[in-house]
Amino acid sequence: MPSDSGSEYMLVDGDSSGSEYVSDMDIDPLLSLSTNAKPANGQTKLANQDIQLALLMLNSDDDDDDPAFSGPIIFSDSEDGHDDLGDGYSLRDGIKGAQGFKIRGKLRSAGGFRRRAMNAADPANDPEIRSHISKANEAFVMGELSTAWEHYSEVIKLDPKCFVAYRTLGEICQMRNQMNKCCLYWLLAAECGEADDQFWGLVAELSVELGHITQAIHCYTKAIAKLDGKSGHFILERSMLYKQIKQYGRALEGFQRLHKMYPTDNSIVKNLASVYVEQKRLNDAINLYIRVLEANRNPQPNVQYPKFSWSDLNIISELFQSQHSWRPAVKLIKLVARWKQNREDETWWDEQDDDAEFDEQRRRKVLFAKKPTQTEAFMHRGFELPIDIRFKLGCFRLELDQKDEAIAHFRYLFKQSLEEVADLFYDAGCLLESKGYYVEAIQFLSSSYTPEENKELGHILGKCLLEVEDYIRAKDTLLKALFLDPENVDLKLLLIEAYYHTGDMSKAARLMEEVSQTRVSQIKARTAAQGEESIYDEDDDEGLQEDNLALIKNSVHGVEQRIRLSQEEQIQIEVNATKMALNKFNRMNRLQEAIEKGHHVAASAWMKLASQLIEMFMEVRSLFPKNRRTTFKGIHTYKRKKSMAFDDKLMRLYNLYEGITQTDNSKLELVSQTEYRGLSYDQWLYIFIQYAMLLRQFDNNLEEATLILNVAQDVSVFVQDKNRLMLLRMVRLVIAIVQEDYPVTVPNYVRWLLVSGQFSPTIYDIFMCCFSSGIAAWASFSNYNHQKYFLRHVKAYDSLLTSTKISGAANLTSEVKGLKLSREHPQLLYIYACLLGSNRSYSSPIVYLTRVYREYYKDPTICFSLGLAHVHRSMQRNSSNRHLQVLQGLSYLMEYREARLINATIYEKQEIEYNYGRLFHMIGLPSLAVKHYEKVLDFHEQLLDDPEYDMLMEAAYNLSLIYTINGNSKKSQSLYEKYLTI
């Protein structure tokens, strides 16, 4: 091979995967009807009992018995259990003899011996046979087909190997349009031994038309044997049939024989390459064309070879494309182009990584710099590429991230007739869209867009228009595409997004409702279709039983050959799935602004997209380990070893296109530790969490939101990261609070938070917020288990504060080595005091609140809690000095008022007035309470825009009770009508 041929893209190592090496006997089996012959493609299956009888007749050496063979051959059952065919002939004995078993002796008549002797000499000389043939021929010429049929049937009774009888019976069936029976009788005629290669070929062609592929292969094999393997036409037809039933080894052997017979035929080379591709032997297919190219570049004397054309270059480029070998493909195109254009001396183009040599303007500039005196001479050389080759070169440049170079090649499409290159416009647009070059993709997609014909093109174009925020054109394009494909959910979601951005919210809402109903309707339609299909199949089977009279049944092995997904196919599937996931995530990001504004339609569209991604994510087994302690090492991508049926493969491809993977116990091939399908694990966590929150906010579907969060908590990559796990549990806690699941879920997650952040003021604040209001929250908050837990932590903190060991203290989980504490922990003591107070015990809370008050006496919450504790203690019977305790409590409450009024807003002011009113109301001073309650009502006008934080109803209700008790029912009624009536 010459050194300038580019060794890195020339002959590559051949792969043996899927190759089949077979002998001549395997390729051309002689399917004789004798018991010692080997059938083609497995065991030969007989159509019915008629065919079995015919085979026995053809193989029988004893013609003395006269089997009853008339019209369609009919069996009669004997009384003794033997299948007699008339005149004492036993089918069971015939089958035994055909299989080589010994048959019991039978008495034969003298007439039978004489008849056998005459027939053994020449059955055609039998006067009776000659008479029937003569009458049959005369009737056939006169058009009396039934009479002719009867006489030929009599001939077959007397001579089961009569070629003319079977052939003419087949012709009668052909005239009656009974093609299956015609093929049957012709095949029987051919098996009689008098058929030539043309007749065998005729039976083979008819078998192909009727779908009897295995039978056709048998006939072509017989025809090839008649010509000693020198019939190229029959070998070609048989090889094509082998390829059709996926017996690629035998097809390959046939094409190789043809290649030796016709070494200059390009079509045979193409068929050879196609078989290599089907066997997943891409390297062998590439090497085949490389050898053809080298034979053309360096011809040898007396060696024949096919011409290497531009179409061959296009084919080998596609083979390189299948292997993702972009750089070798570019070098090969340049090499072949220079060779065909007689420019092999222009080696300087290899010094720059572009395709300037094929562009007129850039070519002139480079030539002027390299060869200033010979520029015009070089410019007169050919340098244009066929549009298919130039398009391929552009695709390779785009895959190599050379966008400008690729666009320069694609723009040559505009110089061609649109009708001729419409598919290339579409392919260029799709490729640009997949790389994220939406503006450029729109130019090519719009040029070939015919909304009445191509729904896929409209789908992609609409998606690109949305990406560049051209929402009006996107809406029009998607509407046209949806008209052609009204059941496409993905199209509907895109259109909903376009409706939102163009302000058509009512249309978006109606379309979202359709999307929500689509899945139900699809399930019903699929169920109905399956029922109709089963009925159709039953009827069709009955028809096949009547008409399908193939003597050699199609091989099940050939039709249902198992298929493997190659590594290249797996990579391509993964690329498509990643592209789909990123596309959906980008669309979800565009809807985020609308969701923040509270648009329900945008939230529904977001959740629909998120559900598809979550379903994809949940199919990955390696994300959900059986042992959650197993360290996450990444997502396992498996290389499938098990074969798949063709239907299973199609379903797998469909599922993967939809984002649903199907894993299998196979060889581990790839590992990803940072992302899945182009999205980082933090982005996947964001999808899970926001999906759950939107379910709660817009659909109030707390059950499904809980389910989604529980699934996320089983993902190893989430739970093994502290920050992600904390976020998940916080969201789960929020959902539990909304569900008011205070007895179980809320305490469990709160306790986890407390353990994870020992002595953390933030965690203690969250603890108090989790039991903010309601009887159920109060009952869970005042649980005795909480008191014990916080008492142990109070002792643990006191132990650190005093540097002494205290019995009953909790174990320290935080890092406190070298830590010196100098002050009390206000949140810890405050919570424990509140827990004690919730059980109607006020002496102990006063002790712990006083400890806090010593250092945090300006905190309004501490002052308020301590004041209430004293007031409540004064109201208990065992109080030693009630008046003093009430006075003490009021002093703390006055400090609370003073601290709370510093930089106070309207909310704090209303809170102070209500608390004072409630205080005086509780200790039996209603006249003072009325004054403060009425001040609370005065704030109502200022809080009309924020009724959630307005304490109007509580104050009005308490005030109405005071008026009612004091007999002022009229004033109480006016409060009800003004403030407490809806």
Terminal CA-to-CA distance of the chain, rounded, Å? 96
Give the phi and the psi of residue 700 in degrees, each rounded to 5. Answer: 55, 35
What would the pLDDT profile of 148-176 be if each residue is shown by its tens digit? 899 888 888 888 888 888 999 999 999 99
Q: Angle formed by the axes of helices 197-209 and 213-226, to 10°?
A: 170
Q: What is the pTM of this model?
A: 0.62
What would the pLDDT profile of 245-300 be if each residue is shown by its tens digit? 999 999 999 999 999 999 999 999 999 999 999 988 899 999 999 999 999 999 98
Question: What CATH number does the domain located at 318-520 have?
Answer: 1.25.40.10
pLDDT, position 80 = 40
- Give, in order, the Cα–Cα distances in Å from 639 to each of 14, 426, 574, 660: 21, 32, 12, 17
The answer to whether 47 touches 86, Cβ cutoff 8 Å, is: no
pLDDT, position 234 = 92
227/222 Cα distance (integer angstroms) = 9
pLDDT, position 631 = 52
Lowest average pLDDT, out of 87-91, 429-433, 585-589, 710-714, goes to 87-91
pLDDT > 90? residue 307: yes
| Bigger pLDDT: 468 vs 648 | 468
pLDDT > 60? residue 513: yes
Half-sphere exposure of 620 toward its Cβ, with a 13 Å CA cutoff? Answer: 22
Burial 122-140 (b: 16+ CB within 10 A, else e): ebeebeebeebbebbeebb
What would the pLDDT profile of 588-612 be if each residue is shown by its tens digit? 888 888 888 888 878 888 888 888 8
pLDDT > 90? residue 409: yes
445/447 Cα distance (integer angstroms) = 5
Lowest average pLDDT, out of 259-273, 632-646, 703-717, goes to 632-646
Lowest average pLDDT, out of 200-204, 543-547, 816-820, 823-827, goes to 543-547
Whose CA is closest to 89, among 121, 127, 56? Answer: 56
Domain boundaries, the chain: 318-520, 567-738, 912-982
pLDDT, position 918 = 92
The pLDDT of 43-61, averaged and rounded, is 40
In the chain, the percentage of residues whose pLDDT exceeds 70 is 76
pLDDT, position 518 = 63
The pLDDT of 834-859, averaged and rounded, is 86
Lowest average pLDDT, out of 618-622, 840-844, 935-939, goes to 618-622
838/785 Cα distance (integer angstroms) = 13
pLDDT tier for residue 83 given thresholds of 50, 70 and 90:
very low
275/236 Cα distance (integer angstroms) = 13
Q: Which two tokens stand for residue 845?
A: 């809370």
Most confident of 235-244, 718-727, 772-781, 936-945: 235-244
The pLDDT of 787-803, averaged and rounded, is 85
pLDDT, position 563 = 52
pLDDT, position 336 = 94
pLDDT > 90? residue 376: no
pLDDT tier for residue 471 given thresholds of 50, 70 and 90:
confident
Residue 109 burial (CB count, 10 A): 11
pLDDT tier for residue 810 given thresholds of 50, 70 and 90:
confident
pLDDT tier for residue 450 given thresholds of 50, 70 and 90:
low
pLDDT > 90? residue 6: no
The pLDDT of 842-849, averaged and rounded, is 87
pLDDT tier for residue 961 given thresholds of 50, 70 and 90:
very high
Does 912-982 match 318-520 at the fold level? Answer: yes
Mean pLDDT of the chain: 77
In the chain, the percentage of residues whose pLDDT exceeds 90 is 22
pLDDT > 60? residue 381: yes
pLDDT, position 171 = 92
Q: What is the DSSP string of 577-600?
A: HHHHHHHHHHHHHHTHHHHHTT-H
pLDDT > 90? residue 23: no
pLDDT > 50? residue 670: no
Report CA 735 to chain centroid distance, whole Å. Answer: 31
Q: Which residues contact 328 (CB under 8 A, 6 or more apart)?
A: 6, 8, 9, 320
SS3 671: strand
Q: Which residues contact 448 (CB under 8 A, 6 or more apart)?
A: 418, 422, 423, 425, 426, 429, 457
The pLDDT of 788-806, averaged and rounded, is 85
- Give, in order, the Cα–Cα distances in Å from 65 to each of 53, 77, 360: 13, 17, 88
**Range 912-982: architecture per CATH:** Alpha Horseshoe (1.25)
DSSP class of residue 563?
A: B
C-alpha dihedral sign at 636, 637, 641, 643? positive
The pLDDT of 217-239, averaged and rounded, is 88
Lowest average pLDDT, out of 93-107, 188-202, 335-349, goes to 93-107
Half-sphere exposure of 419 toward its Cβ, with a 13 Å CA cutoff? Answer: 0
Please classify residue 946 by burial: count the beta carbons closer than 10 Å to its beta carbon, then call 0-12 exposed, 13-18 middle and 19+ buried.
exposed
pLDDT > 90? residue 388: yes
pLDDT > 60? residue 89: no
The pLDDT of 203-230, averaged and rounded, is 89
Helices (H), 122-262: 127-142, 145-158, 163-175, 179-189, 197-209, 213-226, 232-244, 248-261
pLDDT > 50? residue 507: yes
933/918 Cα distance (integer angstroms) = 8
pLDDT, position 242 = 94
